[in-house]
Amino acid sequence: RSCILVSIGGKNIMLDCGMHMGYNDDRRFPDFSYITQNGRLTDFLDCVIISHFHLDHCGALPFMSEMVGYDGPIYMTHPTKAICPILLEDFRKITVDKKGETNFFTSQMIKDCMKKVVPLNLHQTVQVDDELEIKAYYAGHVLGAAMVHIKVGSESVVYTGDYNMTPDRHLGAAWIDKCRPDILISESTYATTIRDSKRCRERDFLKKVHESIERGGKVLIPVFALGRAQELCILLETFWERMNLKAPIYFSTGLTEKANHYYKLFITWTNQKIRKTFVQRNMFEFKHIKAFDRSYADNPGPMVVFATPGMLHAGQSLQIFKKWAGNEKNMVIMPGYCVQGTIGHKILNGQRKLEMEGRSTLDVKLQVEYMSFSAHADAKGIMQLIRMAEPRNMLLVHGEAVKMEFLKGKIEQEFSIDCYMPANGETVTVTTNPSVPVDISLNLLKREMALGGPLPDPKKPRTMHGTLIMKENSLKLVSSEQALKELGLNEHQLRFTCRVQLQDPHSDTDTLHRIYTHLKSVLKGYTIQHLPDGTVMVESIVIKVSSSTEDPNTKVLLLSWSYQDEDLGSFLSTLLKKGLPSGLC
C-alpha cells in the first residue's frame, strides 16, 4: 500500500492512500496514528494527493476521509476522479457482500469522500494555500496517472506514484521538465527488473488465443472497462485481419458505452495515435469485433469475448465463465491483478474446484492464463526520470533495502546525489539548501565593495558584517549603525583593560621596544606597530609601558582591546605574563 507523508516548509501532505491487497484485517489500511493518535486528520494535513486509480494507491481513501476523518482537499486528475469511485465501489461490494466484512467503508462514504476531491489538470500550478503549490505531470502507466510536483517557498518534492517510461499502444510515456526538486520520490518495486518487450507479451497473448481458437475453444477475457481492453482489441483486430481468421470476437455493450464515454472525456490522456484514430471514428468500430449478446455464449464453435467485470467477481464475465469453465478446450485470459476473494484470484492461484452460490461446485477445466500488461518503470526508467527532473536527492520507496544497494550505488555514482531507501515506518530527513532572498542596503553594499577584494560572485560565498532585520515578510541586511539608528539605540563599545606586571631592568622605552621585538617574533602574520607616541599596537590592541612608583624595575604593562579582539587580547595578556625572554635586545 502506498501512503507517504511529507513535511515540507511547515506543510504536511499525504501522498496516496492505498490499500494493501494481501491483508484481510486492519493491516490493509495505512497506520494513520503516525499523524495523530486520536481524532480527525484535518488539522494535521494541508492536503491529500492521489496519483492514480489503482487500489493500492487509493483503496484506503474513503476509510481515511470518512472513518478516521479528513475534511481538507483531496487532489487527483480528472480521469482518476471519474474512475476511482467505480473501482472503490466494486472493491467494497466484493469485500462486504462477498466476504461479509464489517469494518469497511460504505457506498455513501465513497460518495462523501469524492465530494472533497479537487480535480487537477496537467501542467497547471494549483495553489493549495498561499504557500503551498502543486502541479501534475503525465505519468503513463494507466489512464489519468500523474506525477506530482509539490513546492513550498524554494523547497520542492516530486512524487511519481506509478509511472512508465516506455509508451504503449494507448498511453504515452511519463514526462517531466527539469524542475530540480530537492527530493524525487519514486516507487522501486520494479527497480530491479528488466522488462520483457511489449512485443513478446503480445505474441504470447496472440499465440494463446490462436491455439484455443484453432482447437475450437472459446476464449474469455475479463476486463475493466478501460485501458487494456482497447489495446487487446486493437491487437486482435490486426491479427484477425492478417491471419484471415473467421471466429467471432465480441465485447459486452456495457464495455463499449463506458469506454467510449471515458475516452471522449479524457482523450488528451491517451497517446497521439489513439487520438488520431478516435477523431476519425468510434473507438470500437472494428471490422472483426462485434457487440455481445448474452445468448451468444451458448453458440457452438470458437469465439473470443471481452466482458466485464475484470476479476470475475460478478456480472457478465462471471456468467460466461460459469458456462465455459467445464470444457478444457476453452480458455480464460486474466490481463491483470485480481483482489483476494474473487473468482479471478482463486483460479489464478490454481484452484480447480470453486464453490458457487447454493453450495454447488464448479469444476474448472478450461485453461487459465495470467498475463501481465501493466507497465512500471524499471531501473532504466528510473535513471531516465532522474535525468529528466534533475533532483538534488533521491528517495526510493517500496523496495527491499538489501536488494537495492546496487541501484542506490548506481544513482549516487552517475548523478552524485544522495539516495535514500526508507522502510515502512521510517523517517528520512533530507537537508536542503533553500535560498533566502534578502535585500541589502545600498550603503552596506558600497562599504563592502570599498573594502576591496574580488567582486561579488553569486557562486562564491562572502562573509560580511551587518544586521539582519526581519520585518513582516521582508528580510533586510543593513549596517550595524543603521540598524541601531532604526531601532533608536545607542551603540556601546566594550573595551577591556588589563595590567600585567613585569620584571625588567630597562627603561620604559627599551622595555616597550623589547616587547615589540618579542611580539614580532611570536605573532607572525599579525599587524604589529611600534608607534611614535610610545605604544605598541597589535592589530587594534594597545600596549603601554610604565614603571611602578615603588620599584623602577617593575614595569606595568597596560593592555587595552575592544570586544572584537577579545581572543587576541586574552592571548597577549597570558603571553606577556610569562615575561620576556632574556635573549632580546
**According to CB under 8 A, which one of 39, 42, 355, 406 is a site residue for other proteins?**
406
Contacts 24+ apart (CB under 8 A), 405-412: 406/192, 407/188, 407/191, 407/192, 407/379, 407/382, 410/379, 410/383, 411/382, 411/383, 411/386
89 given a catalytic annotation: no
The smaller minimum CB distance to other proteins, of residues 32 and 190, is found at 190
Question: Three-state SS for 226?
Answer: coil
**According to CB under 8 A, which one of 22, 216, 243, 290 is a site residue for other proteins?**
243
Closest approach, Cβ 345 to other proteins, in A, equals: 12
Cell of 267: 482523450
3-state secondary structure 127-167: ECCCCEEEEEEECCCCCCCEEEEEEECCEEEEECCCCCCCC
Per CB under 8 A, the segment of 47-55, 265-273, 419-427, 510-518 that binds other proteins is 265-273
Tell which positions 272-331 bind other proteins, by CB under 8 A.
272-273, 276-277, 280, 286-287
Cell of 88: 472503490
Tell which positions 408-437 bind other proteins, by CB under 8 A.
409-410, 413
The smaller minimum CB distance to other proteins, of residues 79 and 399, is found at 399
Please, are residues 324 and 296 in contact by the beta-carbon 8 Å criterion? no
CA distance linking residue 534 with residue 522, whole number of Å: 21
Among 86, 211, 54, 77, smallest CA distance to 137 is for 77
| Binding flag, residue 239, other proteins (CB under 8 A) | yes
Closest approach, Cβ 435 to other proteins, in A, equals: 33
Task: Find all residues with CB under 8 Å of 99, minimum gap 6, and list them.
Answer: 24, 341
The secondary structure of residue 51, as a DSSP letter, is -
Say which residue the cell 479471478 belongs to. Answer: 344
The smaller minimum CB distance to other proteins, of residues 116 and 201, is found at 201
The smaller minimum CB distance to other proteins, of residues 12 and 238, is found at 238
Interface characters, 190-229, with other proteins (x: CB under 8 A): x-xxxxxx-xxxxxx-xx--x-------------------
Tell which positions 339-398 bind other proteins, by CB under 8 A.
348-350, 367-372, 378-380, 383
Closest approach, Cβ 354 to other proteins, in A, equals: 15
CA distance linking residue 332 with residue 368, whole number of Å: 5
The smaller minimum CB distance to other proteins, of residues 273 and 446, is found at 273
The smaller minimum CB distance to other proteins, of residues 42 and 351, is found at 351
CA distance linking residue 107 with residue 99, whole number of Å: 16
Per CB under 8 A, the segment of 78-86, 126-134, 164-172, 385-393 that binds other proteins is 164-172
Marked catalytic residue, from 101, 131, 133, 187: 187
What are the backbone angles phi and psi of residue 184, rounded to the nearest 5°? -110, 120
CA distance linking residue 283 with residue 261, whole number of Å: 10
Closest approach, Cβ 456 to other proteins, in A, equals: 39
Closest approach, Cβ 338 to other proteins, in A, equals: 11
The smaller minimum CB distance to other proteins, of residues 158 and 191, is found at 191
Say which residue the cell 453458440 belongs to. Answer: 299
| Binding flag, residue 238, other proteins (CB under 8 A) | yes
Among 240, 230, 75, smallest CA distance to 142 is for 230
Among 347, 353, 250, 356, smallest CA distance to 308 is for 250
Closest approach, Cβ 208 to other proteins, in A, equals: 8
Parallel, antiparallel or unpaired: strands 11-15 and 4-8: antiparallel
Cell of 349: 492461484
Count of positions on this chain that bind other proteins (CB under 8 A): 57
Closest approach, Cβ 210 to other proteins, in A, equals: 6
The smaller minimum CB distance to other proteins, of residues 104 and 239, is found at 239
b/e 45-63 (16+ beta carbons within 10 angstroms → b): bbbbbbbbbbbbbbbbbbb
Say which residue the cell 528580510 belongs to. Answer: 475
The smaller minimum CB distance to other proteins, of residues 195 and 520, is found at 195
**According to CB under 8 A, which one of 119, 153, 167, 315 is a site residue for other proteins?**
167
Per CB under 8 A, the segment of 83-91, 93-101, 215-223, 231-239 that binds other proteins is 231-239
Per CB under 8 A, the segment of 25-33, 137-145, 187-195, 262-270 that binds other proteins is 187-195
Please, are residues 340 and 22 in contact by the beta-carbon 8 Å criterion? yes
| Binding flag, residue 236, other proteins (CB under 8 A) | no
**According to CB under 8 A, which one of 402, 442, 470, 494 is a site residue for other proteins?**
402
Among 397, 374, 404, smallest CA distance to 139 is for 374
**According to CB under 8 A, which one of 255, 407, 483, 580 is a site residue for other proteins?**
407
* Binding footprint of other proteins on the chain (CB under 8 A): 167-169, 172, 190, 192-197, 199-204, 206-207, 210, 234, 237-239, 241-243, 271-273, 276-277, 280, 286-287, 348-350, 367-372, 378-380, 383, 402-407, 409-410, 413
Active site residues: 187
